[in-house]
Structure 1
Amino acid sequence: MRSRVAGSVLLRHLGPRVFGPATPASGSRPLLVGGEGGMWARLLATSAAEAAKEEVAASKDNVASTAAAKAEAVQAAKEGEKGAVVSSYWGIVPAKLVNKDGAEWKWSCFRPWEAYTSDTSIDLTKHHQPKILLDKIAYWTVKSLRVPTDIFFQRRYGCRAMMLETVAAVPGMVGGMLLHLRSLRRFEHSGGWIRALLEEAENERMHLMTFMEVADPKWYERALVLAVQGVFFNAYFVGYLLSPKFAHRVVGYLEEEAIHSYTEFLRDLEAGKIENVPAPRIAIDYWRLPADATLKDVVTVVRADEAHHRDVNHFAADIHFQGLELNKTPAPLGYH
């Protein structure tokens, strides 16, 4: 429509110059109605009238469409204020995602494609026998940390798991961060270890998000988490700087203790000492569990995750013991 309007306007302005004036000039012979000049005059007059009508219609359409767009935007804003979930950090409305069954995805801490099925067939009885002095120090350090934990939590395994995961999510983040900085300083690849350690930290954090749905920590337990995390983060940071081998060996033994704790948790669930409640929805979506999964199923997959972390960290410590470096040895794939 715009091209027709432009053509009509161009014809109105250039027509008199090319084909002669549309109206008789003073002193010239008048145009005959039936002649050639009259034909062009009628043509130009008709084109100008059509162009004017089309311009008016186009302006009306533009005004109407603009008004409709504004009305839709106002309505969408009103609806968004009522029902939209806004991110507390960025202040934006997240994209809507759906689960495999078509239900709306409600978790902002992970996405559907980040869910996975845990390998529960992993060997839970593996133990790295400490042989050298550094390994013995790491082993007995972890054993000594278990004593106050047993005294404080007794058999309250829900709160115990919550505390355990707040600590277990620290080493992967610290190790990944230090390897990241090292890779930047040395202009070298990491062998995939940065991603592996950060994914380990994220997996441990999801364990915490799950058990937060099961256990309701008291105020003094929350205060204990703050204290323990502050001490452990700085201690592990310094330990990793001094000896990555020692740091990974400590985590390997921590994961062995976690496997033992979750095994005791399962025994109490099977014996009826702890109620086997339905699994939290976040656990069902994260581990792709069946809809009727229970707390026992959740503890089983979490224990399998800890076994994978055990193997990864003992492997990392062995690499350093053999004189190799993490950036030269590929990280295990699919350790989840």
Structure 2
Amino acid sequence: MATTTRRRFLALAALGAVATACGRATASGGSGSETRKLRYQGWAGQVTLPELAEDLGYFDDVKLEWVGNTISGPQDIQSAATGQIDFGGAFNGAVVKLIAAGAPVKAVISYYGVDERTFSGYYVLEDSPIRSARDLLGKKIGMNTLGAHSEAILDIYLQRNGLSAAEIAKVEPTVIPPVNTEQALRQKQIEVAVLGGVLRDKALASGGIRPLFSDYDLLGRFSAGSYVVTNRFLKENPTTAWTFVTGVARAIEWARTTPAEEVIERSTQIIRKRGRNEDAAALKYWKSFGVAETAGRITDDEFKPWTDWLVAHGDIRAGQVKPADLYTNQFNGYGG
């Protein structure tokens, strides 16, 4: 049922089992010593900021241990919360929901965002009759996962254009693998496609589609997602945490101040060296990580829109989480 599905915003992150498992999560360092190894999940065909930081030599003797790939931010931070990996990243709304559900984790640094070069657009076919938010009633919007960035942005767009909760429930977010989203739109299996990065650029180059709106249109520049680490890990491994967060912060600023061609070349070399049988062709479309604040430092403003949104939709209670519950900049030593 569409209404039930939509109101399960970030439902995976809210599972009681996750909160229970979080209490059992253990840090990798053991008693009396800090770990210098960080387990993580990657993204196929992409180079993450921690991978870039390690390659640039910003982690000193701290090493990354890749345990596999993910295609979902909410899944990634659940894995971090339950101790399967040592850090995970997701849309800030997912972070809020996970912490509200009782997971003892904190966001430590922003890692992706939206700017004039890096954004997600909501596209329709050139001859589509869809011109406004109200035209989306009963229509399918293809996106990579439910309960994350794309669905939240969609709801903000609908709300700002005056649709009621009952009307919003009639719009149908639909999970489509990113590589199939453009094809699904052109074959009219969906009416709107959420496209970003290389997939957006390739689709636009092929012609025949036009934008309805984008997250940049709605909110301008903002950091959208954070890496989270368990409170226990931070307590037992403070030096390792500082090395990790500060190294990622340095990588953010290196990418911000380095010509895109050089960032792309470095990233291409990383993919080739790690030997995961990946296609690095999409890297040529990289433009920025989109992180808004210097060195990825987190502010209240990066969580407030999503906290308010979740409260308005009854997913969390007003006052259930405070900024201090959500994040810390304690381990970000960039420039300090």
User: TM-score, normalization: structure 1?
Assistant: 0.23
Query: Rg larger in 1 or in 2?
Result: 1
More relative contact order, 1 or 2 (CA 8 Å, 6+ apart): 2
Q: Which structure features the higher share of helix residues?
A: 1
